[in-house]
Amino acid sequence: MLAAFKRLFATCARPLVRAWAALFFLAVAALPAAATSAHQAYEAQLPADLATAADLCARVPCIEVFPAAHSFSTRKGQPPYVDAYGAPDAAGKRALLGYVMLSTDITDTPAYSGKPVVTLIGMDTTGRYVGVRVLKHSEPILLLGIPESALVDFNNQYVGRSVTDQIEVGPSRPDENILGVDAISGATVTVVAQNQVMQLSGSAVARQVGIIEPTRRDPARWATRDTLYTWAELVKMGAVQPLRVRPQQVGLPPAPEPFIELWFGDLNHPDIGRSLLGRSGYDKLHGSLKVGESALFVIRSAGAESFKGSGFVRGGIYDRVQVKQGADSFTFRDLDSTNLYGLHAEGAPAATESAIFIIRSASFSPAYPWKLAFLGNRIDQATGHRSFAVFETRYWLPASVMDGGRPVVEEPDAPWVRIWKNRALEITLFSLLLVAVTVVYALRERLTRLSTHKNKWPVNIFKYSAWALSITFVGFGVMAQPSVTQVLTWFHSLLFQWTWSLFLSDPFIFVFWIFIIVTVFLFGRGLFCGWMCPFGSLSEALFKVARALGLKRWQKPVPQALHDRLKWLKYAIFFGLLAVSMFSMTTAEVLAEVEPFKTTFLVGVFNRPWPYGLFVAALLGLSLFIERPYCKYLCPLGASLAMPSTFRWFGLRRKQDCNSCKACAVGCGAQAIDADGRIDHRECLHCLDCMVLYTDTKGCPPLARERKRRERDGLLITPIGKDGYFIPIDAVPAISAKAAQKPDPRLPTDPVQPYPQATGSWLQTLVLEVRDHLLPWSRQGWTERRALQIAGLSLALAASVAWLMAAQGRLSAAAIIGWWFGWSVYEVLIRMNGRRYVKDGPWWQARYREAGWMDMLSYVGFKNLLIGAALFLALRATGWLTL
């Protein structure tokens, strides 16, 4: 029978697999054509001087966002905009029709890619939007899954609406005067960021030209003590703040010196002003200020870059610094500044450049929080392109220096907060579903004891319900299908730039990942992959339906020898994507199309080029005959979750007789049980069929034998204990002699005792364990593979030097990642030739077992990821290591 199936597989299944792979690569090959068929805004090359050129409309198509205009002015105002004029009349006069603005002149709000969507916006003189055009974006979802026309349609919803309208992504709420705009399915973060860009850009220009009334803030009321503060005291109380920009942040090679380091602070409070300027300097300054004017200082304490900027030389404009308060921006000309010859506060740093700036607007109040912004350009190291960049530091005088304390500030909710509020009911239901599934699975032993191999409904009623809800509500409803691209994004964010708001903008994915992380370390990947993954549930449901419809005779497991080879493919895919992402996240996003999730749930089969739909159809078609083929062999997300599953706290129960009884292994759809009855929790999908057999007195062969013996001898049929055997009533051994001579299947590998010398001392055991985590070398390794150990010692020394160079700002993040990755690979080799063991179960238990290659790869990879992330974050906190 097996030989016949192998011949059938060779003639049918293998061509299917080859066709399957061909379909995937055909879909990827079709990608460039799809990407260039729309508006070609993805990573479009913009003019190098776009951010600085006076004639904006000579470089971008302003006429497309203001079709009624006949001509345009040069850039004016701060932040910049251009006037749109109609055709001249008989007297040669041109009527002002409205304004055109470039979004990156005003805000660099990042979208999901971490880069801004460069948008050109037209607005008439009443504040109504007349046109929107995306010039450049870096959103992979709009390259790979969603056509750029969807973004065009989204932007067109703003045409005809006013800058004074309260616009939110989602349904309209007339009772709250909220106008809703339809989101793009699968691109929530992108459209939320774009909505913020539209409103910030429109309101910034509308305030300048008088469409929106200027903001009125109460003037500050000071609490004075006639005290002179030292510089250290001013820093401690927050009265002076630093703004530092590293070379890497603007795309320059790493260097120990910052690109620019500024210190700034308020000069309006009498005590603070006199501490910084001296009494005579403070009195002279405030003697020259008019009512409603405010002053602040800025000094450059390090770096060669000037905060005055090139515009100051040309036209008396400080185009590198701005002050922002709420939605208002304040810029400075030469008449708005005065010389600062030095700071009087004891301990103040030496200044290489300095100035006092005067804000001549009653809209500004030093009692309210504000930000100093340093404006510049960031060079993309890969392409050489320049993009607009803003670096900001928030400032708010302490409550102790204000009469009555700080004023109450009602700031608008962040975009992600509004999303959570608007979808609170759905998020609550989704969270309750995840909690319910976790609780049900935690009670699995009670459910499996109520089940038998002929009646699994006490388990299946919950499992099938989870599948149905996962497919309909989670997958097609709220479109919360997790993806390996999120693993890559989280990995990069952890190392380089963690932004909570980016991940909180998609609440369902955020909540789902909390569930995944918790349950993977508690139970392994199987609870998510086997119960709650929308695509996995769909694949399994099709397999079950096909069986019910009479296709069972064609549903055969992949031969175990072939399965044991194919299962490594998903790990190769995951590591390949991870490696590629370190060089190009865009390329990694393209290759991540090996996942069918986007086509199935986020975008839709009929909304993508035909190769993608055919690829999904092939996967689901194959699922009719092979149980979860994608999950077992291709899924990089499953591979990423399988690695920490090595260290799950709670596994499925095994008994000694499982090593000689094949009942569970024969029925395991995931083929995760080996010849010795051991469960590979990296492959197990937690169907719980083996747990049903574990206590089934008619289905489990060892229990059936014991039951028949007791019935024959008239003995009491006692309950099944936790060990999987009847509670004993006589001296007959529960474990068969054959099973007792074979390996213990309760551990994935044979047990090991690495610290026999540590007897009874938890402190000694802890010290030895910490030593093992940090030092992979061993006496056995030095004896058997001395050359390997010496080479590893040399590489460890080199990696340590690399960290020291990174701490000095002399090594880039990419270089240190390369060194750390190389050391991690070599550490696996060293440990496999000396310390070949890993801990099994909770970290506080001293239960060790022999490590296989994947065990060791998972252990070293996870351990060094944590150590590397800790070192990265420490270096970034000191400002030494940035991209």
CA–CA distances in Å: residue 64 to residues 60, 100, 120, 135: 9, 10, 9, 11
**Looking at the predicted structure, is the pLDDT value of residue 379 above 80?**
no
CA nearest 35: which of 113, 125, 189, 138? 138
Q: Is the dihedral of CA 829, 834, 836, 839 positive or negative?
A: negative
Question: CB–CB of 275/269 below 8 Å?
Answer: no
pLDDT value of position 436: 96
pLDDT value of position 438: 96
Report yes or no on whether pTM surpasses 0.85: no
Q: Is the dihedral of CA 109, 111, 112, 113 positive or negative?
A: negative
Residues 187-246: tens digit of each pLDDT: 777 887 888 889 889 988 998 898 988 788 889 999 999 899 999 999 999 999 999 998
Residues 22-64: tens digit of each pLDDT: 444 444 444 444 333 334 677 788 888 888 888 999 999 999 9
Q: H-helix or E-strand containing 761?
A: none
Write phi, then psi, for 635 (nearest 5 degrees): -70, 110
What is the three-class DSSP state of 480? coil
Tell me the C-alpha distance between 540 and 669, whole Å: 10
Amino acid letter at 496? F
pLDDT value of position 881: 57
**Looking at the predicted structure, is the pLDDT value of residue 17 above 50?**
no
- Neighbouring residues of 517: CB distance < 8 A, sequence distance ≥ 6: none
What 3 state SS string does 125-148 have? CCCEEEEEEEEEECCCHHHHCCCH
Tell me the C-alpha distance between 672 and 690, whole Å: 11
**Looking at the predicted structure, is the pLDDT value of residue 743 above 70?**
yes
Residues 783-808: tens digit of each pLDDT: 888 888 888 888 888 888 887 887 77
Q: Find the angle CA(105)-CA(107)-CA(108) to the nearest 5 degrees.
A: 105
Residues 445-489: tens digit of each pLDDT: 999 999 999 999 999 999 999 999 999 999 999 889 999 888 887
CB atoms within 10 A of CB 543: 22
pLDDT value of position 616: 94
Tell me the C-alpha distance between 630 and 635, whole Å: 6
CA nearest 309: which of 211, 234, 376? 376
What is the three-class DSSP state of 251? coil
CA nearest 152: which of 167, 142, 162? 142
Residues 800-837: tens digit of each pLDDT: 888 788 777 677 666 777 788 888 888 999 999 888 99
pLDDT value of position 777: 86
pLDDT value of position 740: 80
pLDDT value of position 61: 93
Tell me the C-alpha distance between 431 and 427, whole Å: 6
Q: In what order do the strands lie in the sheet with 294-302?
A: 240-245, 260-266, 294-302, 353-359, 337-338
CA–CA distances in Å: residue 413 to residues 110, 256, 409, 419, 700: 17, 38, 12, 10, 59
Q: State the number of CA atoms in the 13 A half-sphere of 323 facing the CB.
A: 29
